[in-house]
Amino acid sequence: MTKPLQPPTGSALAAEPVITVRGVTKTFGETTALKNASLTVARGEIVVLLGLSGSGKSTLLRHLDGLDRPDTGTVTVLGATVSRLTGRPLRALRGRVGFVFQQFELVGPLTVLENVLTGALFRVRGPRLGLWGYRRELKLAALGHLERVGLLAHAYQRADTLSGGQQQRVGIARALMQNPDILLADEPVASLDPESSAQVMALIREIAIDSDLTVVCSLHQVDLALSWGDRIVGLRHGEVVLDTSTQGLSKQNVMEIYGRVTTSTGELDAIETEIGTVEQNEPEEPVEPDEPDEQDELDLQTFASARDNRR
């Protein structure tokens, strides 16, 4: 087993742990996706999982939400042993853990607002027909989250008419609908251009700090990881090979650490090109908002006056 080369640092680790992964191994057929992986995350920490494609980042994130189960080892999240939970207790835990996906996972033909409201589905009973099945307070909360991510004007627009960066902001608003304690994000900017990526990452960090969220986010760009996270956990072939504060850490330090755990020049080249570079996706065109209809106008007015009364 390769031990983490640097111990966790930073004052946050003195705080209460909200995530504890101990000795988790997970195999899929012949593939070992995680190998004796351990990790402790304190409340309010902003942690990046860094590694090449196939190094186990998504698998580790999925274990934190109970979507995957370890072959050996334990995963404890918010005091519950996730690997043992099923049914209602598992759903209750998932209600406290928001998930932001690489491909946004929005329902394209639905409006932006309906997509955000699906984040509250675990709190809604009975059938829903469009927006009618949701209580007014939920709609107002969803509009509030859309305002938070800068998309209030697009609330009644079809989700699939938005740009990628805007769709990811809808994904963030949907996760916020859960009032989560923890936010997990799996390569949230992998398909965005550099400008949209920077905006989305800044927004996640800003919201995490404002709302005292704990964040675990997988990325494969070392520059972004260093500038964005409080701490980097580096994975290689399913093993944790690096676990350290980003303070004072340079890209060269990270490359050296990966260099120490690999003897293959080919792999180092891959690390240099894959985690050592920022992707250059094409910049996106801005999207004009649709006009809301009469009922939508009413909801927006109610939202605006409720918000102004709170101020």
Q: Where do contacts with ligand ATP occur on this chain (CB under 6 A)? A: 28, 31, 33, 51, 53-59, 220
Nearer to ligand ATP, 31 or 301 (CB): 31
When the beta carbons of 53 and 273 are compared against ligand ATP, the nearer one is 53
- Report in angstroms how near the CB of residue 207 gets to ligand ATP at its nearest: 23
Quote the least distance from Cβ 51 to ligand ATP, whole Å.
5
What is the nearest approach in angstroms of ligand ATP to the Cβ of residue 60?
A: 7
The count of residues in the chain is 311
Q: How far is the CB of 26 from ligand ATP (least distance, A)?
A: 8
Nearer to ligand ATP, 28 or 122 (CB): 28
Q: Are 64 and 98 in contact (CB under 8 A)?
A: no
Tell the smallest beta-carbon distance from residue 67 to ligand ATP (Å). 10
Distance, in Å, from the CA atom of 249 to the CA atom of 256, rounded to the nearest integer, reads: 11
Identity of the residue, 2 or 302, whose beta carbon is nearer to ligand ATP in the bound complex: 2
Q: How far is the CB of 28 from ligand ATP (least distance, A)?
A: 3
Q: How far is the CB of 181 from ligand ATP (least distance, A)?
A: 23
Q: Which is nearer to ligand ATP, 55 or 196 (CB)?
A: 55
In the complex with ligand ATP, which residue's Cβ is closer, 159 or 235?
A: 235
In whole angstroms, how close is the CB of 29 to ligand ATP at the nearest point? 6
For ligand ATP, the closer of residues 53 and 277 by Cβ is 53
Tell me the DSSP string of the chain: -PPPSS---SGGGGS-EEEEEEEEEEEETTEEEEEEEEEEEETT-EEEEE--TTSSHHHHHHHHTTSS--SEEEEEETTEEGGG--HHHHHHHHHTEEEE-TT----TTSBHHHHHHGGGGGG--S---TTTTS-HHHHHHHHHHHHHTT-GGGTTSBGGGS-HHHHHHHHHHHHHTT--SEEEEESTTTTS-HHHHHHHHHHHHHHHHHTT-EEEEEES-HHHHHHH-SEEEEEETTEEEEEEESTT--HHHHHHHHHHH---HHHHHHHHHHTSS---PPPPPP-PPPPP-HHHHHHHHHHHHHHHHH-
Read out DSSP for 73-104? EEEEETTEEGGG--HHHHHHHHHTEEEE-TT-
Of 32 and 179, which has the nearer Cβ to ligand ATP? 32
